[in-house]
Structure 1
């Protein structure tokens, strides 16, 4: 699992470690790793270090000190280094002295003419971004923002110290200009903003450097991302005593006379969610049977469909007169429930909180905005805060779809999916995800695990489907994704880990 921690947590661990180390040792560890990363980048671009030119943008915090000490190490290896100081009176004294002793130069941004700065950037092979640290809030100040825009315009590759300047480490939010990085070298622990858009989109490759914080960090992170091996361990797998009912039955309430395809796609995802059977309840039964003859079809409402281990409801219900009845019946069912799309319209938090069984909501940003009474743009800009707010308001697990798919429950870390691809922004893709996650729920996974594993599988299928993928080709790619993950699990733990069998 890739774990991320809030700034306050990281700083507490750093303070505890500093008490055990000689003065300056922790910063020297970070600087050594940063210099090595810059050297590797320069060699990859030029084949050698000698004669390379690096511009270090230095703020007044510890990140500026890391940048100066790393720049000094590069200068000692034959790299021409110039540091541009945004706050000369607060520049790290030891770092500045080390740079000058190594032959590097330093000048204040305020004393550097625009033409000279552009010329300096035009000759640079690499820019080292140490403008702001992990405590930066509220966007860049005007001088830093203008400098970031000049660097971006110059087209020079950027290596960010800990995180790109202009992004919020804790939330992934971005207010104003950002200095995008080709590589971000972060120390001790990942920060949530490095996993969550929009900040993640500015970080480039993220490289975590171990500086000794691990044993001092809490066991429970603030944000985490499951690895493929961890998802493989979660996937349900039948045993010798399994039958179709013990493997789980998912009920699907989706589609309408106007949108029968939503039912077909949701059932298609469900059949690839590890269940033994799928019961479909709704008016699109003929279309479902034509595409998926193994489905158990009922033309009535969910209450008339028969016994299931979980329900997935919402895609394509549209304005069908039965919509409110369908939603009421699945809310009343004493089994895990996934609500998506049209089932989320006007959803009452009290009705969700009153359920005896767990509930999973899977909105996109527009649906989440409606549930929160907010603007869509605000949800997209504040994905972490939005998913947490939804989970708290509804007392449910929430999978918020989008550029970064995130999963939150009322308690515990937020899970981030890292397999997504923009190719999944295609009609019906969300319906497939609804069925897939619903199938995992019916097969016995807890809502948080089902949501995270389903999003992971869905992303892998989106990548595996021949481009440009459609919802149908994403569905068709899922069996091969399952095969690969189960084969990987067999090599690590033949019997899997921690799954409970679904009961009829």
Structure 2
């Protein structure tokens, strides 16, 4: 973000001009929320406080009821200029009005914060937040670290809305900070792309199959079953809805498998020598015994791209990937991520994006570090952060559905990083369309509707 702002300033803009864009853009969202009610803006000493003065003046000039509380004198030229332009009264913390209001706006500290807030600032934040019906954080809630998502104080308010300025920051996507942010909105200020920056995972743009398509041309996904066949069936059903033309399950039995999911009971080595395979999924329900190890090794010997999930991640090590040429994707949750870091000699330190990138480079594989905050990392340094999905996904089997979505997109011909991003988005959208307390089976049934939203 700093680099993008420097580029704008070098092209002829200024910090003052960018602050006007950011503050007025945030004010438009707050104006919608306040509905004529009282707005209280808490301004800090830096440029985040300057944004607060700008948005307060925007609201005041339009006849809104706005009160500004300054936690300290402005310490930057842009913040001082913004305060001078604000034509309303400014109160100090000692004379703050805690009688209540419609919207509290936190402009105390922004993305540069690296230390915990003082006890006085925490108390002021909490009292003001509790006195208002709705709470808005501008750029970031005060008390969080922008690059790691760490919460720097034990007790901080939760917000109904967080308005990011210019570009997303890691904390908008990473736990535990993102859990406090409520709805996220972005105010553009004209910044351009910066080389090496992370991607925000958004709705993919997909297309209909070609007019002359057939099932093999749309992609053949081989799903390797194992000791617990239900997980592989869940993954296969999700894969059918995510775009692949043909999903074939390798399993010992056809029992309890839907009629439209093809089951091959032949030797796995024969199934995976089919040169029509465009992707392989192995791991859901695989087991961890010698038979499972053999199946994983056979799957990784296939020349097609491979997605490894669940039990397959526990059995995976560098030797199994030594001869692979085709793309490999892994989908670990937190515990599996730690196990893979140990297996591949990674230190396991740093933020979640740091850890995912280190593992991706060490294993030459795309890493989908899944969870309430999901990060996708590629060996070439590409990094994606997924938006928060519903916490109802915290139920058994939803990871199998995610693996099926990603593997299906891989089978259609998407590159590994793109397939991972597309699958993660489809998974989150399918969950959004489900009723509360859904099962993994119900989630899988919503994948086609999520796919339709991308066409």
Give the structure-1-normalised TM-score: 0.79
Residues 58/321 of structure 1: CA separation in 2 closer, same or farther (3 Å cut)? same
Which secondary structure state, in structure 2, belongs to the residue aligned with residue 356 of structure 1? Answer: coil
CA apart distance, 1:344: 0.5
Q: Deviations over 1:145-195 (max 9, x none)?
A: 333333344354222222221222233333324443323333322323223
CA distance in 1, matches of 2:438, 2:424: 16
Q: Is 1:250 the equivalent of 2:221?
A: yes
CA distance in 2, matches of 1:250, 1:36: 48
Give the structure-2-normalised TM-score: 0.87
Task: Note the 1:296-311 alignment, pairs <5 A.
Answer: 296-302=263-269, 305-307=272-274, 308-311=277-280
Q: Is 1:56 the equivalent of 2:24?
A: no
Residues 132/483 of structure 1: CA separation in 2 closer, same or farther (3 Å cut)? closer
2:434 maps to which residue? 465
Correspondence for 2:173 among 170, 195, 203: 195
CA apart distance, 1:310: 1.8
CA distance in 2, matches of 1:400, 1:353: 22
Q: Is 1:174 the equivalent of 2:161?
A: no
Q: Is 1:474 the equivalent of 2:448?
A: no
- Which consecutive residues of structure 1, in runs of 5 or more, have no partner in the other structure? 1-6, 490-504
CA apart distance, 1:341: 0.4
Q: Which moved more, 1:75-84 or 1:387-396?
A: 75-84
Contact 2:293 2:315 (8 Å CA) reproduced: no
Task: Note the 1:16-27 alignment, pairs <5 A.
Answer: 16-17=10-11, 20-21=12-13, 24-27=16-19
Task: Note the 1:339-488 alignment, pairs <5 A.
Answer: 339-349=308-318, 351-352=320-321, 354-373=323-342, 382-418=351-387, 420-485=389-454
2:91 maps to which residue? 106
CA distance in 1, matches of 2:263, 2:215: 12
Question: Please, what is the CA RMSD of the aligned residues?
Answer: 3.0
CA distance in 2, matches of 1:157, 1:127: 6
CA apart distance, 1:413: 3.6
Task: Note the 1:483-494 alignment, pairs <5 A.
Answer: 483-485=452-454, 489=455
Residues 14/167 of structure 1: CA separation in 2 closer, same or farther (3 Å cut)? farther
Which secondary structure state, in structure 2, belongs to the residue aligned with residue 420 of structure 1? Answer: coil
CA distance in 2, matches of 1:449, 1:55: 43
CA distance in 1, matches of 2:436, 2:57: 47
CA distance in 2, matches of 1:211, 1:424: 34
Contact 1:344 1:367 (8 Å CA) reproduced: yes
Q: Deviations over 1:236-295 (max 9, x none)?
A: 72541x333333222211231xx2211221222233343333333343x2236x424541
CA distance in 2, matches of 1:198, 1:381: 15
Contact 2:236 2:261 (8 Å CA) reproduced: no
Task: Note the 1:213-292 alignment, pairs <5 A.
Answer: 213-214=191-192, 217-218=193-194, 221-227=197-203, 230-233=204-207, 237-240=209-212, 242-256=213-227, 259-283=228-252, 285-287=253-255, 290-292=257-259
Residues 86/351 of structure 1: CA separation in 2 closer, same or farther (3 Å cut)? farther
Q: How many residue pairs are counted as aligned between the two chains?
A: 447
CA apart distance, 1:125: 2.9
Task: Note the 1:5-16 alignment, pairs <5 A.
Answer: 7-16=1-10
1:205 maps to which residue? 183
CA distance in 2, matches of 1:361, 1:175: 31
Instruction: Pick the structure with more helix per residue.
Output: 1
Q: Which moved more, 1:8-17 or 1:389-398?
A: 8-17
CA apart distance, 1:437: 1.9
1:501 maps to which residue? none
CA distance in 2, matches of 1:40, 1:123: 18
Which secondary structure state, in structure 2, belongs to the residue aligned with residue 279 of structure 1? Answer: strand
Runs of 4+ in 1 over 6 A off after TM superposition: 378-381
Q: Is 1:165 the equivalent of 2:157?
A: no
Residues 37/420 of structure 1: CA separation in 2 closer, same or farther (3 Å cut)? closer
Contact 1:173 1:381 (8 Å CA) reproduced: no
Which secondary structure state, in structure 2, belongs to the residue aligned with residue 157 of structure 1? Answer: strand
Contact 1:185 1:208 (8 Å CA) reproduced: yes
